[in-house]
Structure formats: C-alpha cells, structure tokens
Amino acid sequence: MLFFLFYYNTVVVGSTSGTFKLLGELLHHLEAYEASAPSAHSLPDFLAWVQRRTVGQGAGPAMSEPEIRQASHAEGNIMLTILITYLYRYAKHYGKKALADSSLSTLDEFSFLATLRFRGDLTKSELIHLHLLELTSGIEILKRLEKKGFVEVFPDPADRRSRRVRISYAGAAALDAIMPQMNQVARIVSGNLGPEGLTRLMPLLHQLNAFHSVIHQEDRQSELETITEKYLS
C-alpha cells in the first residue's frame, strides 16, 4: 500500500521542476483536446489523441489502441487502490473523533461489539475472522473488552475446547451511547453522494468485497502470482 502512495506522490503528482513542466505540457494538451472534442471525453480517447498529435515530434512510436486501453486500465487499478486507502484513512480519522470521549478505545472495539450485538454470540475465531484480523490481534481486542466488562466469554456447548463470546449489558450500553456519533461518521464518510450515488456505488463495492472475500478464505497465504493467475486470468 505504501508503494502505491509513494508511486502516486512521486510519479503522478511529482515534486521536481521537470515533473511540473511535464504536467504543464499535459494540461496544455488536455485543454486543446477538450476544445477539439467538446463532449464524450474519456481517458483512452485522450491518450490516443495525444499520441496522434505528438507522433513525429520526438515522442516515439505511437501506441496502438489496445496498448492505450491497457495503460489506462493499469492506471485505473492503481488509482482505485490509492482512493480506497484514502477513504479508509478519512473514515478512521472521523471514527477517532467519535470515540474521543467514549469508553471504547478503538474502532475495532466498536466493530466487535456491534457485530456481537446484531449477530449474537460467536466463537472467538469466528468473530476475529469476520473482521479480517490476525488471531493474535483479535485476541488482544477481546481481552480489552473483557477487562472493561463489555463482553462475556463462556465455553462452547458444542465444543468444550472452543470459547464463545457475547456482548454484556455494559457493552450494549456503551454501544448505545456511541451510536449517534458513529451514525454521524457514517453520514460524513458517504459525503455528498446522496441516495442516487450510493445506489450506484454499493453494488460495485459489494462485488469487490465478494471477490476479495473468496481470496481471503481460500488463498490468503498464496503468492500474488498465484492469486493473479487463479482469479484474474
């Protein structure tokens, strides 16, 4: 993730005079493109237009249409990763504000209690797995919640070797107390999308979540090359 942010800040945004010069040239091309094609703009069409305009001016051989679209797709993949990272950090920032005066210390503590409240008691491993956490990290969160009296741990009737966890009355009260602030966080994070924007966005987010959920369950320890070959070939 840090690699993508570094890539974006140094290559896409840039901090050298040479990069700013290139950015100015790019903006000049963009202005001319928009003037020549007043509607139906797209990144692949713009890249193709720049290629046609600059070929023969030291820009090298022109890219084919498939190459242009492939480059555009790769850039879109990187930008998607960057934007998701940014949105997560924004949400985390707002969440910390909501928890500032709460008896809950972290967003993970809040999400554990919320899951237990609405899904009922779970085994420790089930609860931790639902939040995509490492077992050791999840156990530490549960220890803090148990120490605060917010959860109760008890033997699993079906498997005495396993332990189940449920929200306590104190935990439910703490959750109820912080819910107005967390609902406010949710409103802020959704921003100015409005109902129509959320309607368009949510199916795509569910689609991505379902895709990664399968990988997380079946190929969490696999190498990137294996994941790419198995799920994207």
Indicate the domain borders of the chain: 2-95, 103-187, 192-233
Residue 16 in tokens: 């050298």
Q: Which CATH class is domain 103-187?
A: mainly alpha
Q: pLDDT truncated to tens, each residue of the chain (233 aa)?
A: 433 443 344 444 444 445 455 556 666 666 777 776 655 566 666 666 666 666 545 444 555 556 556 656 667 788 888 889 999 999 999 999 999 999 999 999 999 999 999 999 999 999 999 999 999 999 999 999 999 999 999 998 888 888 999 999 999 999 999 999 999 999 999 999 999 999 999 999 999 999 999 999 999 999 999 999 999 98
Cβ-contact 171, 149 below 8 angstroms: yes
Angle made by CA atoms 119, 120, 125, in degrees to the nearest 5: 85
